[in-house]
Structure 1
Amino acid sequence: MTGLPLVGITSYLERAAWGVWDQPAALIPQLYVDAVTAAGAVPVLLPPQPTGGVPEALMARLDGLVVAGGPDVDPARYGARPHERTGAPHPPRDDWEFALVRAALAAGLPLLGVCRGLQVLNVALGGDLVQHLPDRIGEQSHQVAPATFHRRVVRTEPDSRLAGILGGQAEVLCYHHQAVDRIGTGLRPVAWSADGTVEALELPGARFALGVQWHPEADPGDPRLFRSFVNAVEEKTS
């Protein structure tokens, strides 16, 4: 390997204010940048933009892809009507991230999906989502309050890649009101919370294609997931 690997991180496209400015901006929580950097890679911001062959060209230059958390996926992507608690759609971001995920999988690029990123991976491969998890489980422990992560324990599938990284169970930081329901083609559930919610999916046979419903970037005291991802990235580039 001749240098540090490049890892793309998908970003928000939102109105933001800084200094004297208030205008649309491509942004990402610094936690993602710090997690990728601490794991030994160089983060590259990937803001939503017209696709037109760009995702495929990016795969030739990037060494790995992180699909970050964010707003709800448009239910039209999996043939459903929006629930009253589902957030407004973000078509540019959906278009961009779905195209990136498919291009990364086609190119064999290591991929890590975080929260929304897990959901994008599942829907991109033909799965669907529970649009408001409290309707399914009867309580709100997966999203206890605005902008508040909640620690919970997940158990992992014993023979999975995820179990090899985290062991039989792990304490993770959750913040989501949606979850995967029907599993996308080829994906395998590999972690669950005590209420039965699927918390992680893997794509068997891929170099590294893993999505988690929690937020490992928000837990710098446990860098195992990002380190394992970047290890797979380094193996690709060596």
Structure 2
Amino acid sequence: MEDRPLIGITTYLDTARWGVWEDRVALLPAVYPQLVQSAGGLAVMLPPDDPERAPAAAARLDGLLVAGGPDVSPALYGLPAHPRTAATAPERDRWESALIRAALAARLPLLGVCRGMQLLNAVCGGTLVQHLPDAVGHDGHCPSPGVFAHHPVRPVPGTALAQLLPEPELPVPTYHHQAVDRLGTGLRVSARAADGTVEALESEGPGFALGVQWHPERDHDLRVVRALVSAAARQDAPSPR
């Protein structure tokens, strides 16, 4: 039987309709588990739970993917809310913050996507630009509600991300109106957009901890998620005797 590393993916908690039903649900766009599966991992969903259970959850995983979603609450990084901030997922904020802390403490391979990258930065003591058009003067990172755009990003030479993505510039699917502002402790910028927006960050320490502002689940490029799964496979490998 093929032994695939177990990758936990965080979920939304929302109201949804299917068939004759309408109910509160833990949900996740199918492209997330499909991406992990295509990259060689076994995907499991991690709906919001008691944050005190995060270390136990992390201990059962080989890797963690913190998915995209609503704005991170600015209370997590000590700022008042911008009028355009829609921080509608307090359960996710608490649970995913605890999961990220547990993953970093255990050196569990970690990938944050969009909101997941922003939350990683906040957990490490950084802050966010709450409405990016105010800072860059355009809405190219999220031009239309519900529609993914594309723009180029530039990996920073010498970073782990640049080893994964050696092109000087590559187009990525994007949908975000917030971004990293002050960088969190122990993190470094590993990609930027042409306007200077931080598009990826990574841990300066040992292990695999990466955040990307774009949406690899909306692309055919598996390299970033394959790197997570490969790191998770090494995590799962038995220690040499």
Give the whole-Å Cα distance in 2 for the aligned partners of 1:189 and 1:108.
19
Residue 4 (structure 1) aligned with residue 4 (structure 2): yes
Partner of 2:233: 234
Partner of 1:152: 151
Q: How does 1:1-238 map to 2 (within 5 A)?
A: 3-52=3-52, 54-167=53-166, 168-219=168-219, 221-238=220-237
Amino acid at match of 2:150: R
Contact (CA 8 Å) 1:163, 1:169: kept in 2 or not? no
**Displacement after TM superposition at 1:205 (Å):** 2.2
**Displacement after TM superposition at 1:136 (Å):** 0.5
Give the whole-Å Cα distance in 2 for the aligned partners of 1:60 and 1:140.
40
**Displacement after TM superposition at 1:2 (Å):** 7.5
Give the whole-Å Cα distance in 1 for the aligned partners of 2:124 and 2:87.
22
User: What do residues 67-126 of structure 1 show as CA deviations (whole Å, max 9, x unaligned)?
Assistant: 000000011111111111100432111000000000000011000000000000000000
* Distance change (3 Å), C-alpha of 1:179 and 1:57: same
**SS of alignment partner, residue 86 of structure 1:** coil
Give the whole-Å Cα distance in 2 for the aligned partners of 1:56 and 1:39.
25
**SS of alignment partner, residue 211 of structure 1:** strand
- Flag structure 1 segments of 5+ consecutive residues without an equivalent: none
Large movers: runs of 4+ above 6 Å: none
**Displacement after TM superposition at 1:160 (Å):** 0.7
Contact (CA 8 Å) 2:125, 2:184: kept in 1 or not? yes
TM-score between both structures, scaled by the size of structure 1: 0.97
Give the whole-Å Cα distance in 2 for the aligned partners of 1:226 and 1:139.
29
Give the whole-Å Cα distance in 1 for the aligned partners of 2:117 and 2:4.
26
Contact (CA 8 Å) 2:200, 2:210: kept in 1 or not? yes
Amino acid at match of 1:105: L
Aligned residues: percent identity?
Answer: 56
User: What do residues 113-153 of structure 1 show as CA deviations (whole Å, max 9, x unaligned)?
Assistant: 00000000000000000000000011100001011111111
Amino acid at match of 1:98: S
TM-score between both structures, scaled by the size of structure 2: 0.95
Q: For this pair of structures, how many residues does the alignment match?
A: 236
Amino acid at match of 1:162: L
**SS of alignment partner, residue 228 of structure 1:** helix
**Displacement after TM superposition at 1:171 (Å):** 1.2
User: What do residues 27-61 of structure 1 show as CA deviations (whole Å, max 9, x unaligned)?
Assistant: 00001010000011110100011222x11111221
Contact (CA 8 Å) 1:115, 1:213: kept in 2 or not? yes
**Displacement after TM superposition at 1:228 (Å):** 1.3
Give the whole-Å Cα distance in 2 for the aligned partners of 1:69 and 1:179.
13
Give the whole-Å Cα distance in 2 for the aligned partners of 1:51 and 1:181.
26
Contact (CA 8 Å) 2:186, 2:205: kept in 1 or not? no
Amino acid at match of 1:148: V
Give the whole-Å Cα distance in 1 for the aligned partners of 2:11 and 2:73.
17
- Flag structure 2 segments of 5+ consecutive residues without an equivalent: none
Give the whole-Å Cα distance in 2 for the aligned partners of 1:228 and 1:107.
18
Provide the aligned C-alpha RMSD in A. Answer: 1.2
